[in-house]
Amino acid sequence: MQSFPFIKKSLKEIETYSVSGKPLQPDLIKLNQNENPFDVPLDLKRELLDELLRQPWHRYPDTFPVDLLKALAGYTGHPVEGIIAGNGSNELMYTIFMATVGAGTKVLIPTPTFFLYEKAVRVFDGTVIPVPMHDDLSYAPEKILEAIEREHPSVIVLVSPNSPTARSLTLEDIESIVNAADGLVIVDEAYIEFSDHGSVQQLLQGHENLVILRTFSKAFSMAGLRVGYLLAEPRLAAELLKPKIPFAVHAFSALTAIRMMEHRPLLNERIAYLKEGRRWLEAQMRTIPEVEIFPSDTNFLIFSTPQAAGMLFQRLLENNVLIRDVSSYPMMERMLRVNTGLKEENERFISVLNNNLQVAR
Ligand SMILES: Cc1ncc(COP(=O)(O)O)c(C=O)c1O
């Protein structure tokens, strides 16, 4: 490929984000992106569409979405000055790195974790300090603390519950990491609504080096509308807001997020359904002799089989069941990830998985 002298050298090592699979179609069982299988309710969609018709499309939205920020303050109990909303939490991850990472900045990342973090650090020419999980894929807080003492990283990334491993850190572990760190600690709580551990939001008070990232893409059924937010002490939030791209939250997405937050009983019902679905999937998979399954604190599961992950992924896809091949992550050779879907989707996945493994028996 032609090399462009004007493109940053760091991009040579970086690949464009892509997700393997096939286009969305009605009979596809889609369990590969940890999304919510329930859409925004149709009556609410209609109400929102009416609202969209009344909105002026030729005007900019708020520089930063004022009403959404107020609603988030009500929902989280966190002061509005300490909240920033973004076009998905991915945009806020880049915002935080714009504020903190330059050439050679050390960023501690437990591995394996959501690979976009490592990629974004490289985009900003930072240096990744990887800290491996234990062999069973649980977090190794003692190794993180050692690395903090040794390397003094400027930024530490903790995804809890973590993707793709599905494991969490305890509140106590995160507190000791935040206390030991002289840099900024990012806690990505994209899957927190499905966790039995709960949020670390209480640590925000008194810790000006902590930022929590959350998303509307998972529990809130809004992956397509792109809304995420961060919580931090107001003084820190004011700094993080400086590099932020203005107008990044679409007025329609902001309004939908506000409405979804008003439907707490529905959200709770869906979360309970999905947690139950994950437990059912886990129990079913344990009955399949070839499957080794790992503990999960969220809406998805990691498993391995004697078959090569790529091959099993393809076989399931031929049967219109789309899951995620995560075998290219370090320590995860042979592993696949599946998120819980509707009851009938979970049943179909189990039956297709069982059939494919049976053929090889
Ligand atoms: C750990 C983690 N953080 C963030 C995201 C993305 O969130 P958003 O859709 O808000 O950009 C994901 C999506 O898969 C994720 O797994």
Report CA-CA distances (Å) from 176 to 179, 181, 287. Answer: 5, 8, 39
pLDDT, position 56: 93
Ligand 1 atom nearest to 215, measured from its CA: 10
Q: How far apart are CA 183 and CA 153, in angstroms?
A: 6
Spatial contact of 89 and 190, defined as CB atoms under 8 Å apart: yes
For residue 213, the CA-to-ligand 1 centroid distance in Å is 9
Spatial contact of 231 and 83, defined as CB atoms under 8 Å apart: yes
pLDDT digits (tens, 9 = 90+) for 65-82: 999 999 999 999 999 999
For residue 5, the CA-to-ligand 1 centroid distance in Å is 32
Residue with the two structure tokens 């979970």: 346
Percentage, residues of the chain above pLDDT 70: 99
Q: Which regions of the chain are under pLDDT 50?
A: none
pLDDT, position 2: 59
- pTM (predicted TM-score): 0.97
Given ligand 1 and candidates 87, 89, 226, which is best to mutate, with the most ligand atoms within 8 Å of its CB? 89
pLDDT, position 22: 87
Radius of gyration of the chain (CA): 21
Closest residue by Cα to residue 81 from 239, 213, 273, 252: 239
Spatial contact of 164 and 324, defined as CB atoms under 8 Å apart: yes
For residue 90, the CA-to-ligand 1 centroid distance in Å is 6
- Which domains, ranges and CATH numbers included, belong to the chain? 9-40+265-359 (3.90.1150.10), 56-263 (3.40.640.10)
Amino acid, res. 15: E
Q: How far apart are CA 286 and CA 343, in angstroms?
A: 17
For residue 355, the CA-to-ligand 1 centroid distance in Å is 32
For residue 12, the CA-to-ligand 1 centroid distance in Å is 24
Which residues, judged by CB distance below 6 Å to any ligand atom, belong to the binding site of ligand 1? Answer: 34, 88-90, 114, 159, 163, 188, 190, 215, 217, 223, 228
Ligand 1 atom nearest to 223, measured from its CA: 9
Q: How far apart are CA 354 and CA 361, in angstroms?
A: 10
pLDDT, position 26: 87
